[in-house]
Amino acid sequence: MTTVHRAAPAPHRTAIAPHRLAALGVALVAALSLPQGAAAQAPAYQITFKNLTSDAVATGAATAQTGQRLSPPVFITHSDAYTAFTVGQAAPETIWRIAEGGDRSFLLNEVNALVGTSVRSVVAPLSAPLPQQNSVTVMVNADASHHLLSFASMLGWTNDGFVGVSGLDLSTITGTMTINLYGYDAGSEKNSEANGFLGALGLGNARDPEGGLITTHLGIRGDANAPAAWNWLPGPAASLTISAVPEPGSWALLLVGGLPLLHLLRKRAGAGTPHKA
């Protein structure tokens, strides 16, 4: 009854010294990590963009009336031949159109025309603003020369506030990384927080040029028509959680790397068990 013998618990199978199990565990983790570390550039990345704003608990207001809605974003993977924006410089029209009115069409027109040269992926999810505490997940492609990520989305209830990254190097991400975004002021419109200039107040979205540079946003002051409950600082306004997606070949390598150790574990677990002829 060979099958009975194989199914029956063998007490001495558990007789592996704890320190040996720990050592094998470390070795196995090292082997499983190796393919990712060796693959400097993943072919794809999963990105979750989350709206972290709304402090409804502290203000007592409804969630929909606190924090910020975030305009439909644009994600771009590109080479170093493309720059979406530079902090400390004037915002290009592609960016201030987003920062002032959530209009991503200018940026989309620009980067879609560059696909195949300096741009690899353009992903533009959502057709309505991302509500407070909600998230959206996208997948972008990258390669050895197109390993930079740029992205932008308007802080919807500001004059010209936006969240974004410009030229983030994806090739340095081997597992999962979360980046907190505190917001930029595009420097293109004065922060009047007033009726007529904030579309969110329902009285128009006129321009009041500022002629400034992209800087860190100082948040909603709350001394005009925009309520202080729309402020998000001192916390981040949003986050990006980025995960490298290994290419299929990496999974094969991972299995090849892990199998000898699994075999060793089983062999040691079976040490002392009588062999059957």
Contact positions toward Ca ion, by CB under 5 A? 160, 185, 191, 210
Least Cβ distance, residue 25 to Ca ion (angstroms): 53
Question: Position of tokens 């007592």?
Answer: 60
Per DSSP, which regions of the chain are E strands?
A: 44-51, 74-78, 119-123, 135-141, 148-154, 161-169, 176-181, 184-185, 215-216, 238-245
What is the distance between the alpha carbons of residues 58 and 171, in angstroms, rounded to a whole number? 39
Q: Which is nearer to Ca ion, 53 or 159 (CB)?
A: 159
Contacts of 101 (CB under 8 A, 6+ apart): 154, 199, 205
What is the distance between the alpha carbons of residues 53 and 237, in angstroms, rounded to a whole number? 5
Q: What is the CA radius of gyration of the chain?
A: 26
Least Cβ distance, residue 161 to Ca ion (angstroms): 7
Overall residue count recorded for the chain in this entry: 277
Q: Which is nearer to Ca ion, 37 or 209 (CB)?
A: 209
Least Cβ distance, residue 61 to Ca ion (angstroms): 25
Least Cβ distance, residue 104 to Ca ion (angstroms): 19
Least Cβ distance, residue 223 to Ca ion (angstroms): 15
Q: Which is nearer to Ca ion, 185 or 193 (CB)?
A: 185
What is the distance between the alpha carbons of residues 87 and 186, in angstroms, rounded to a whole number? 9
Q: Which is nearer to Ca ion, 161 or 246 (CB)?
A: 161
Q: Which is nearer to Ca ion, 191 or 243 (CB)?
A: 191
